[in-house]
């Protein structure tokens, strides 16, 4: 630092930053919103063109619809001239139908730039309800794409063939629509995919019997929750599957009239266990065979749904399953047959959690138990160490489940808590004693 007559003279603005090589500055610029990155061109002569090679693009923000960004994005991508990208994030707060081709062009531009992480969130216009941005029905082709995150989009069958993306590992759809073909089977297909998440999305039928297929043999995790339409069918073995969560609610179109009313002779589901054609297995096992290699499973459903119960007819063996979370759907029959069946088919199970007649994260009472190692039932895993029951109130429905568990010699395990404790004795079974119950 030089010193003048009036004291020290500061270094030139940005001196320390200017000491960094271009590749580092281009990476740093990638953390800025695209509009701010462009504005750095006025800092100094060296910065005039650095933004054109920023390794990440973050386009759009809250309150910015596509129409507000059209000209900026057009010139931004034109001046970049296909510079390589690591990350590209599109966020649009509203769009018009005439914007759809433009957004598709930007989306494909990012893929052509060998982007590794690509995100598109196309919020519908305010007041338009549930609306989706239609993506071109062409397969993606990229040797670099690893993560694809899509929200509020509509996709067709050809787009879902990811064989042209051999590096793809993470795929997420949220608040999206899958438009199923009425002529061919619609399949999400990828040999490389390891993590798949489909949440709050719709499977719109091209015909009454269409059902989307999932063919991802190397999957490590699966999340399939709160969907509308028919339950997706897992059509490949997934031997490396570590964890999966499947939540089926009232928006699911799979149902059986005879399961709701045994006297109903007009069941047309063609695949349920109580249909007139019960010996005909129809389309095959939908979920459980595909999930049978998982180490951690969460399977919940509302009572009118029948897919899990139907799939149990295929006797899937969960040979690696160590942690299992279920809800009351598995415990509503008089003999609690579904719960008994899945426990018998889980030989190395270590932990069982039951969320009974309560929200998964909003229960008021939690009970903990363990198996009596001296009197363990031969049909239950020798490794099962802990059973947790979460509910809002201990009523007849809960006591019925406790009586069933008692048949497998579950003992109560004391749990210290500063919360209020209730002391109850289960009158339905002498072998099961409910001591301390945690109340929230």
Burial class (CB in 10 A: 0-12, 13-18, 19+), 266: exposed
Strand 177-179: give its sheet, edge to edge: 133-134, 153-155, 177-179, 202-204
- Cα angle, residue 174 at apex, residues 171 and 175 outer, rounded to 5°: 150
How far apart are the C-alpha atoms of 364 and 168, rounded to whole Å? 41
- Residue with token string 């005439």: 98
Best CA proximity match to 227, nearest among 182, 175, 187, 179: 175
How far apart are the C-alpha atoms of 302 and 250, rounded to whole Å? 7
CB 394 within 8 A of CB 414: no
Per-residue pLDDT of the chain (440 residues; tens, 9 = 90+): 444 434 443 444 455 666 777 677 767 766 777 777 667 766 767 677 777 778 889 999 988 999 999 999 999 999 888 899 999 999 999 999 999 999 999 999 999 999 999 999 999 988 777 789 999 999 999 999 999 999 999 999 999 999 999 999 999 999 999 998 877 789 999 999 999 999 999 998 755 557 899 999 999 999 999 999 999 999 999 999 999 999 999 888 887 776 667 676 666 665 555 545 444 445 689 999 999 999 999 999 986 667 898 898 888 999 999 999 999 989 877 668 889 899 999 999 999 999 998 765 667 888 887 765 555 555 677 788 888 999 888 888 888 888 888 766 555 443 433 333 333 433 334 344 444 455 55
Q: Pull the structure tokens for residue 98.
A: 């005439």
């Amino acid at each position: 630092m030089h010193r003048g007559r009036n004291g020290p003279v500061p270094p030139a603005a940005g001196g320390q930053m200017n000491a960094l090589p271009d590749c580092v500055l281009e990476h740093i610029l990638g953390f800025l919103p695209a509009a701010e990155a462009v504005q750095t061109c006025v800092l100094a002569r060296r910065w005039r063109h650095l933004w054109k090679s920023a390794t990440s693009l973050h386009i759009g923000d809250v309150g910015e619809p596509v129409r507000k960004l059209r000209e900026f994005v057009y010139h931004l991508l034109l001046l970049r001239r296909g510079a390589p990208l690591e990350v590209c994030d599109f966020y649009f707060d509203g769009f018009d139908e005439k914007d759809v081709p433009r957004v598709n062009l930007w989306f494909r531009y990012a893929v052509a730039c060998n982007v590794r992480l690509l995100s598109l969130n196309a919020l519908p216009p305010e007041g338009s309800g549930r609306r989706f941005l239609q993506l071109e029905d062409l397969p993606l082709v990229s040797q670099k794409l690893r993560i694809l995150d899509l929200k509020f989009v509509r996709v067709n069958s050809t787009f879902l063939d990811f064989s042209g993306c051999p590096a793809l590992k993470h795929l997420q759809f949220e608040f999206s629509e899958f438009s199923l073909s009425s002529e061919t089977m619609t399949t999400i297909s990828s040999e490389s995919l390891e993590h798949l998440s489909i949440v709050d999305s719709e499977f719109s039928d091209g015909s009454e019997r269409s059902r989307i297929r999932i063919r991802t043999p190397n999957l490590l995790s699966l999340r399939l929750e709160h969907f509308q339409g028919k339950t997706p069918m897992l059509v490949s073995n997934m031997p490396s599957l570590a964890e999966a969560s499947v939540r089926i609610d009232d928006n699911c179109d799979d149902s059986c009239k005879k399961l709701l009313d045994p006297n109903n002779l007009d069941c047309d589901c063609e695949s349920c266990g109580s249909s007139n054609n019960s010996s005909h297995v129809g389309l095959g096992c939908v979920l459980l065979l595909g999930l049978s290699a998982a180490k951690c499973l969460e399977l919940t459903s509302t009572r009118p749904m029948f897919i899990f119960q139907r799939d149990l007819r295929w006797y899937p063996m969960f040979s690696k399953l160590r942690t299992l979370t279920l809800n009351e759907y598995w415990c509503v029959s008089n003999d609690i047959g579904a719960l008994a069946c899945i426990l018998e088919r889980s030989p190395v199970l270590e932990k069982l959690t039951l969320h009974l007649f309560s929200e998964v994260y909003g229960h008021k009472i939690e009970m903990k138990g363990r198996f009596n190692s001296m009197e363990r039932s031969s049909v239950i895993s020798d490794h099962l160490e802990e059973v947790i029951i979460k509910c809002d109130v201990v009523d007849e429905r809960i006591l019925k489940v406790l009586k069933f568990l008692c048949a497998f010699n579950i003992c109560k395990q004391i749990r210290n808590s500063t919360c209020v404790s209730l002391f109850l004795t289960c009158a339905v079974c002498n072998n099961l004693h409910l001591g301390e119950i945690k109340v929230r």
